[in-house]
Structure 1
């Protein structure tokens, strides 16, 4: 990778880094970290392997860079859960944003899922320092809504797990979903309607 000087990367350098990261996202989302190779990333990016190694020290650095970039995007829908908003509307908005991310960012979802399935060897610190306190904060918000009688009393932790499971499924198992829905163009809207009904009935006192 270029030396640690403060010189701003040129447009070509910025473009090449972007090409490498986009190619790596494609390769990692298809093959997982262990199955991905620098040769595959180089071929997908349309660059030589030595060129890849000019910008990154190796596969691990590329993977960590992608994961670091992903965390903010991945946590943002939960960050925006507003304690001052209408409880049910806030929960449903969170569900819809997660479902939209499954549609719009399927590669990122599979990258995240692959890292977790491996035991989060590279993302572990982020889970502890970023996700856990945010998760506990929002669980407390949801619990407060329940204690005030706005929502049915259930375990907020497992509610959030259920939201993750029912939305990210559409990205992580996209091939299966496409086969079973026969590429139905209304599939996303139908999923949104179903999940709205599901969580509304679950949470309405």
Structure 2
């Protein structure tokens, strides 16, 4: 019975998130209200609040899922023959692919000014920390393989990766016609430079 109840809660949560995304795409994030989301999902506004808390938390949930998928895939492909530049490029590339699929450019353009400062940035802070932790784990793999220097501050390296990847993604996502190939080439050059300073001599 508990399993069934949990599945039903998960389905309702997904229903609310899907309704919110549909409205965000149609009307924009700022213009969409909790009441509209509730109506679209066929639930009450207090139910939306109970499941998520507010619009920002719904948006966070919508953006976490693609990154979680990307991190799972990148982790599953990591082995003793992996190269740190290739691994970082793959992680960044998967996150970029899934985030571009998750939301249209119009919504990214609306959100861009709020993602690095202010209340929305604070809402996203725990998730940025999760990406940093995943990147640290990836870099630790290469440190333990003897590829990266032991003296590397993995926290700093992972934070630099996350912050730069975020800025580069927003630039790409808000382009009139996102140039994925140019973005991938740019990120590989940046990550190659970053890794060059961490490699053992």
* 1:25 to 2:21 alignment: yes
- C-alpha displacement of 1:192: 0.9
Q: Does 1:200 align with 2:192?
A: yes
- The number of residues matched between the two structures is 178
**Kept after mapping to 1: 8 A contact 2:172/2:183:** no
Q: Give 1:74's match in structure 2, choosing from 42, 67, 71.
A: 67
Structure 1 residues not aligned, in runs of 5+: none
CA RMSD, 1 decimal: 4.6
The 1:191–1:120 alpha-carbon spacing in structure 2 relative to 1, beyond 3 Å, is same
| Alpha-carbon offset, residue 202 of structure 1 | 3.8
| Structure 2, gaps ≥5 residues long | none
Decide which structure has the larger Cα Rg and report it.
1
Q: Which runs of structure 2 are paired with 1:1-205 in the superposition (5 Å)?
A: 6=5, 9=8, 18-25=14-21, 30-31=28-29, 36-42=32-38, 45=40, 51-53=43-45, 56-57=48-49, 60=53, 64=57, 67=60, 71=64, 73-79=66-72, 80-81=74-75, 82=78, 84=80, 85-106=82-103, 114=115, 117-118=118-119, 120=122, 124=126, 134-144=134-144, 145-147=147-149, 155-169=153-167, 172=170, 176-178=174-176, 183=177, 187-204=179-196
Q: CA deviation at 1:53?
A: 3.9
Question: Does structure 2 conserve the Cα–Cα contact (< 8 Å) formed by 1:142 and 1:156?
Answer: no
Q: How far did 1:61 drift?
A: 6.3
Report the alpha carbon displacement of residue 127 of structure 1 after superposing the two structures with TM. Answer: 7.2
Q: Pick closer, same or farther for the CA change 1:60–1:89 going to 2, 3 Å.
A: same
* Cα distance in 1 between the residues matched to 2:18 and 2:182: 30
Larger RCO (alpha carbons 8 Å, 6+ apart): 1
Q: TM-score, normalised by structure 2?
A: 0.56
Change (3 A) 1:159 1:65: same
